[in-house]
Amino acid sequence: MFRFSADRFPASLVLVFSTIDFIAYFLIDNVWWLASYALLMIIPKGLICAWNHHHQHTSTFHAKSLNRILEFFYALHTGVTTNLWVLHHVLGHHRNFMDQTRDESGWKRANGTAMNALEYTLTIAVTAYYRGYQVGRKFPRVQRDFLIYSVLTLFGVILLCWFRPLPALFVFLLPMVFSLLFTAWVTYDHHSGLDTDDAFQASFNNTNRLFNLLTGNLGYHTAHHYRQGLHWSKLPELHEQIQHRIPLELIRNSKFVLVEA
């Protein structure tokens, strides 16, 4: 069933949080309890964004149907539907991250100056679906599934809103928006300020054990870009192999963010 046994835990965790979401959706009516629940879930859903990223690099299951079901629940947590990050991130950003005139997650403005974190966050989040669609023009099969399952996810969210509008707002709609913004915000520190054509000098890294436990080794970011198809569980080993080629100032140790100020 699973392509890699290491994916059993994150996939199970996503389904557990999805179950909790639906319990809250069906049982809670008080607006203050719903708002409190939404605030409580900000951090867990933010962490789920990292695992959704890994899934769209290397799918969790052998069976396509199981991947699509998992992606529906990922979308309810993260605001990112099937194949959006495949197009925007895997087939876009990873190919263009050292060319700021083409990078789908570019940290420079059109005039060549650097964006601040807020401007970057809003720009990447607001344009995510449009940029993913644009990349999809070169990959029609991937784009087709992106469009089909985005529409199906939208239809599912509309049904949830129609049946119980207030719980749907706090349990699903607002978290989807916040998680997309959060995803964009945390990626600002991945490459911002590193204007280079050397892939080993183009990413910040974080070797903190807690950070990598929570994010699936996302801190080994140079290794991730060096071999983006490598499963997240194997990134620490690859990092050890290439660490001597990464400048020391690009390797940090921070518990909660990729780059510690």
How does residue 254 score in pLDDT terms, banded at 50, 70 and 90? Answer: confident
How does residue 141 score in pLDDT terms, banded at 50, 70 and 90? Answer: very high
| Domain count of the fold of the chain | 2
pTM above 0.75, yes or no: yes
Give percent of the chain above pLDDT 90: 97
Q: Are residues 14 and 127 in the same domain?
A: yes
How confident is the model at residue 132, as a pLDDT? 98
Q: Are residues 183 and 217 in the same domain?
A: no
Neighbouring C-beta atoms of residue 196, cutoff 10 Å? 11
Q: Are residues 30 and 89 in the same domain?
A: yes
How confident is the model at residue 261, as a pLDDT? 36
List, as one string, the DSSP characters of 26-44: HH---HHHHHHHHHHTHHH
Q: Are residues 137 and 73 in the same domain?
A: yes
DSSP-derived letter for residue 108 is B
Say if residues 146 and 90 touch (Cβ distance below 8 Å).
Answer: no
**Domain ranges, residue 249:** 197-261
Comparing CA positions, the residue from 78, 3, 64, 52 lying closest to residue 234 is 3
Helix (H) / strand (E) containing 252? strand 251-252
Average pLDDT, the chain: 95
Domain boundary among 195, 229, 244: 195
Residue 258 has pLDDT above 60, yes or no: no
Q: Are residues 159 and 244 in the same domain?
A: no
Comparing CA positions, the residue from 192, 211, 161 lying closest to residue 50 is 211
Q: CA 121 to CA 117: how far, in whole Å?
A: 6
| Residue-wise pLDDT tens digits, 214-234 | 999 999 999 999 999 999 999
Q: CA 2 to CA 88: how far, in whole Å?
A: 25
Q: Are residues 178 and 218 in the same domain?
A: no
3-state secondary structure at position 114: strand
How confident is the model at residue 219, as a pLDDT? 96
Q: Are residues 22 and 111 in the same domain?
A: yes
The residues with which 2 forms a beta bridge, in sequence order, are 61
Q: Are residues 187 and 220 in the same domain?
A: no
| Residue-wise pLDDT tens digits, 163-207 | 999 999 999 999 999 999 999 999 999 999 999 999 999 999 999
Residue 257 has pLDDT above 60, yes or no: no
| Residue-wise pLDDT tens digits, 32-70 | 999 999 999 999 999 999 999 999 999 999 999 999 999
Beta strands in 58-171 (DSSP E): none
Residue 260 has pLDDT above 80, yes or no: no
